[in-house]
Amino acid sequence: MVHSPVLIDDAGAVRRITVNRPDKLNALNAHTIQALTEAFLAADADPAVRVVVLTGAGAKAFVAGADIAEMADLDAMAGRAFGLRGQTLMRTVETLSKPVIARINGFALGGGLELAMACHLRIAAETAKVGQPEINLGLIPGFGGTQRLLRLSSRAAALELCLLGAPITATRALALGLVNEVVPADELDARVDALTAQLANAAPLALRAILECIVHGGESALGEGLQYEAAQFGLMFATADMREGTAAFVGKRKPIFEGR
């Protein structure tokens, strides 16, 4: 039987994608990057999926980085191509039309932190550690780390993590804005389940519009972002979900959104 580097499980409207290389601390090699890209594209295209959870197999690591053994013999051209494949994965996650939650159960280092930062929400166990240690290998982050650190946190944090290469605790990551919540390790699943239940019951078209506005706005001047938001806001008034949501509010009941 061929070992799959990615596991896919569905529970109702929630799809869980698990990086399945626990013996390698879920390190990202070319095969895993391709399998993850395909898994996210499939989730995006599946109308039954409303929320995606990304995590790593085992108790030690979310993703401990890119596969160093595979990278060691690359030349400049092959290294650039490997970096671009990683960036394609991160961009696929970041621009997904459905919310993606990173369940950070352990080390999220190098490509692992880059992958977590591409997700829309990040929930970390208090035992997790994150960082960009590429400098210790004579490398730099190549899957978008320098750019997303700047956008999620600050110039100071980006310089610290990339120049010093030392991992930081989940609590410090929370203070820097790199994760949304930190919970005890034994409460991680319960918290992620609560979030997925909330998102799975939310209006799918509104969720998609929010994601698009924030991704687009983060890459645009304020005026352009506001115009895009106004257009998306107007489109919501043409949806059955908006009618259901307002009717449920007036009727003091819970809405049932169907993505129409």
Which positions are annotated as active-site residues? 114, 134
Tokens of 217: 């706005």
Q: Are 40 and 96 in contact (CB under 8 A)?
A: yes
Give the Cα separation of 260 and 228 in Å (integer).
21
CB atoms within 10 A of CB 157: 19
Separation CA 40–CA 51 (nearest Å): 11
Cβ contact 150:176 at 8 Å:
no
Residue 85 to residue 12: CA distance in whole angstroms: 31
Chain Cα centroid distance, residue 45: 17
Give residue for tokens 């409303």.
50
Q: 196 burial class (0-12, 13-18, 19+ CB within 10 angstroms)?
A: buried
- φ, ψ of residue 129 to 5 degrees: the values are -135, 145
In angstroms, rounded to a whole number, what is the distance separating the alpha carbons of residues 135 and 99?
32
